[in-house]
Structure 1
Amino acid sequence: MAADRKAPSILGFPHRPEWGAAAHRKALAGHLRRCRDHAGIAPRQAARHIHASEATISRMENGQTTLKPADVESLLGAYAVHDPQERGRITELVREAAKPETWQPYGSAAPVTLRPLLAMEPAARRIISYEPQLVPGWLQTEEYAEIVIRAVHPTMPTSEIAKLVALRTRRIEMLRRTASPPVLLAVMDSEVFRRQVGTPGVMYRQIKHLLALLEELRYQLYLQIAPLTIGAAGAIGHPVVHLRFFTPQYLSDMVYLEQYEEAVYREKPADSERYQAILNNLCGMATPYDQTAALLEDVLADWR
C-alpha cells in the first residue's frame, strides 16, 4: 500500500541559513516522521536501525534533539529514500540544524521560556504581537529594556542583564535583513505610553525610537495602538505572539502566550486559528497603522 502513495518530499523547504537552526530541525523532523509513515515502519522498528530507543525516535520526529548525520542516513535507507535530490537537501538541512540557536551566544541569560520563540521567529513570514503593558521587546531601546529587565530581575548580575538587553534589542535585526525578512505587526495598548519606565527622558527617547523605526522599516513594521475605548472586546490581558512561516506545509503556526514567570506555546491548528481570530479582531479595533506616527508625535509632546 505504501508504494501506491506519493512519497513525501522535502524539496519544498529551502536551505535558508537566515531562518535559524530550529526551523531546519523542525522541518526535517516532520519530514522524517512522514517518511517513516510512508514506509509503513513503526517507531520501534525504526529505533532498531539506529540502535536507539523508541523515545529517541519520538524526540527526533518532534525536533527535540540533535539529528546525527549517521542516524539520519540509516533511517533514510530504512525508509527507502534514495532520490539524490531528496537526500542532498536533507544533508543540507541536517548540517544547518546542527548550528547554534540564535539565543545560544547569550548562554544562560536567555530565558528558558523564551528560547523556543527566539529560535523560531527568524523563520517567520509574519509575526503578530500584542503587548498590553510595555513596548514590545523587538522595539525597545537599550535603556528602556535595561530598566524593564532590572525590575523583573532585581538580583541579576549586571553582566547578565547586559546580555539580556543585547539579546532583546538585537531581535529587530531580522527585519533589516535583505533575504526574506519577516513582517512584524505589533499592537500595544495606549496605556503603554502613560506608564513611565525610568525618567521622562527615557520615555521620550523610546517614542522617538519608535518613530525612527516606522520610517526605516516602513514595509516590515506595522504598529497599531489599541485605545482604552475598545474595552473588554479587545482585552487579552497578557502578551501574545503569533508566528506564521514561509513554508506552512513544513512549519505549522506557533502561538506564544507569556505569563509572569512562564510561557505557554500552542501549535495545534485549532489553537492557532483561535488566537489568529482574537488578534485579527484586536487589530480591527485598534487605530489604523497609518495613523500611528501622528499619535506617537502627540504622545512625544506630552513627554517633552
Structure 2
Amino acid sequence: MPAGGRPTVRSRRLGAALKRYRQGAKLDQPQAAEVLGVHQTRISRIESGHVTARIIEIRALLSAYGVDDPKVRTKLETLAKNANRRGWWLEHAAHLRQDYLDHISLEDDATHIREWQPALIPGLLQIPGYAEAVIDSAADFVDPGKVPKLVKVRQDRQARIEETEDAAHYTAIIWEPVIAHPAVRVDIYQEQLAHILEVGKRRNVTLQVLPISAGVKATMPSAFSCFSFDAEPTVEAVTLDNLRGSSILEGAEDLAAYSLAFDQLRSAALAPEASARLIRGVLRRSKEESK
C-alpha cells in the first residue's frame, strides 16, 4: 500500500493503466474482481492508486484483459515493484510541497520530458544564481530560509538530463522574450544564456526558441511539461504550473490536448540551430552593452 494510504504517482500510473486495459476489454469492475476472487472495492482501490496491485494480480488481470505484449506486462510489473520506492527527493520532503514531489517523481521516471516555458528559463536549465533569483522573487509564497534547499533540489533534478546512458530525452521550447530580456542581474543572465548553449549541445537535449513573430502561438497555455515513460514519446502525464504549485493531468483527453499543443509549439518554434544562433546573438549584444 502506498505510504500513509495516499496514492503515489507510480501507484496512480499503474492503476490508470490497468483501468484503460480493463475498459479496452469492455469489462466492468465486478468482472475484474471475479478474475482475482476479490471484492470490487479492491479493483477500485487499485485503479485509483490507493493500493498497489501485487505482481500475481497484475498478471491475472492483464491476461483477462487480453494484454499479451511482454513489454507492457514487464513495464507494469516494474511499476508495481517501484511504486513505493524511495526517491532521492524524499530527503527534502519536509521542505517541498507534495505537488512538487510528484512532479520530480514523474521527471525521475521519464524517458522523454517535453516542456513549454513562456515566462522563465526552465528549471532543468537554470544555473544556481538564476534559480535563487527566481525563488527569491516569490518571497510572498516561499519561506526565505528554504531558498538554499530549493536551489539545491533544482540542481539535483538536472542530473536527469545529463548525457548518460539512461538520461531522459529532453526538449524545451522557450518563448523569445525569456531569452531576450534579462529577468535577473546582467552577469547572472549572461552566465545563464551561456549555460543554455552548452546544455543544448548534448545529444539527448533539444532546445528551441518560439519567436515573437509566431504571434498567437505564444498564447498557448501557461508553462507545462509532458512526460513519457517508454522508448516511444507517447505523452502519459502532464504537469501544469500555477501560482501555488503544479497539478498533474492523466486523463486521455487532457494528454491528447497537451501533446497536440506541444507539437504545435514545436512546429512554430525555430529549429535548434537557429535557436542557438538567436541565443548567441542575444548573449553577444548583452556583453557588448555591459562593457
**TM-score normalised by the chain length of structure 1:** 0.73
- Flag the 1:79–1:131 CA change in 2: closer, same or farther, 3 A: closer
Partner residue of 2:90? 104
Which one of the candidate residues 156, 160, 184 is aligned to 1:174?
160
Cα offsets for 1:72-99 (capped at 9, x unmatched): 3785799798xxx999998765443222
Which one of the candidate residues 272, 287, 290 is aligned to 2:273?
290
Deviation at 1:204, TM superposition (A): 0.7
Correspondences of 1:15-94 after superposition (within 5 Å) = 22-23=9-10, 26-27=13-14, 30-31=17-18, 42=30, 54=41, 57-62=43-48, 64-65=49-50, 67=52, 72=54, 94=80
Correspondences of 1:142-161 after superposition (within 5 Å) = 142-154=128-140, 156-161=142-147
Q: In the alignment, residue 281 of structure 2 is paired with which amino acid?
A: D
Which one of the candidate residues 208, 211, 215 is aligned to 1:231?
215
CA contact (8 A) 1:132 1:192 kept: yes
Q: 2:255 aligned with 1:268, yes or no?
A: no
Query: Structure 1 CA distance, aligned partners of 2:224 and 2:175?
Result: 13
Query: Structure 2 CA distance, aligned partners of 1:289 and 1:165?
Result: 28
Q: In the alignment, residue 27 of structure 1 is paired with which amino acid?
A: L
Partner residue of 1:8? none
Partner residue of 1:135? 121
Query: Structure 2 CA distance, aligned partners of 1:232 and 1:244?
Result: 27
Question: 5+ unaligned residues in a row in structure 2: which ranges?
Answer: 1-7, 64-69
CA contact (8 A) 1:234 1:285 kept: no
Deviation at 1:179, TM superposition (A): 3.8
SS of residue in 1 equivalent to 2:82: helix
Query: Structure 2 CA distance, aligned partners of 1:80 and 1:294?
Result: 50
Query: Structure 2 CA distance, aligned partners of 1:73 and 1:174?
Result: 28
Partner residue of 1:11? none
Query: Structure 2 CA distance, aligned partners of 1:239 and 1:225?
Result: 14
Query: Structure 2 CA distance, aligned partners of 1:240 and 1:77?
Result: 34
Deviation at 1:156, TM superposition (A): 3.9
SS of residue in 2 equivalent to 1:197: coil
Deviation at 1:211, TM superposition (A): 1.4
Cα offsets for 1:123-181 (capped at 9, x unmatched): 32322211111100100001100110111134744442112111112222112263432
Aligned residues: 274
- Flag the 1:148–1:178 CA change in 2: closer, same or farther, 3 A: same
- Flag the 1:61–1:117 CA change in 2: closer, same or farther, 3 A: same
- Flag the 1:132–1:88 CA change in 2: closer, same or farther, 3 A: closer
Deviation at 1:117, TM superposition (A): 2.2
Q: In the alignment, residue 268 of structure 1 is paired with which amino acid?
A: G
CA contact (8 A) 2:168 2:204 kept: yes
- Flag the 1:156–1:44 CA change in 2: closer, same or farther, 3 A: same
Cα offsets for 1:85-115 (capped at 9, x unmatched): 9999987654432221353121132233333
- Flag the 1:24–1:294 CA change in 2: closer, same or farther, 3 A: same
CA contact (8 A) 1:187 1:226 kept: yes
Query: Structure 1 CA distance, aligned partners of 2:59 and 2:198?
Result: 54
Query: Structure 2 CA distance, aligned partners of 1:165 and 1:232?
Result: 33
- Flag the 1:135–1:97 CA change in 2: closer, same or farther, 3 A: same
Equivalent pairs: percent with the same residue? 20
Cα offsets for 1:243-291 (capped at 9, x unmatched): 222067xx96112221212433322222222222222111111111112
The RMSD of aligned alpha carbons is 3.9
Query: Structure 1 CA distance, aligned partners of 2:250 and 2:223?
Result: 17
CA contact (8 A) 2:14 2:47 kept: no
CA contact (8 A) 1:214 1:222 kept: yes
Question: 5+ unaligned residues in a row in structure 1: which ranges?
Answer: 1-20
Correspondences of 1:247-258 after superposition (within 5 Å) = 253-258=236-241
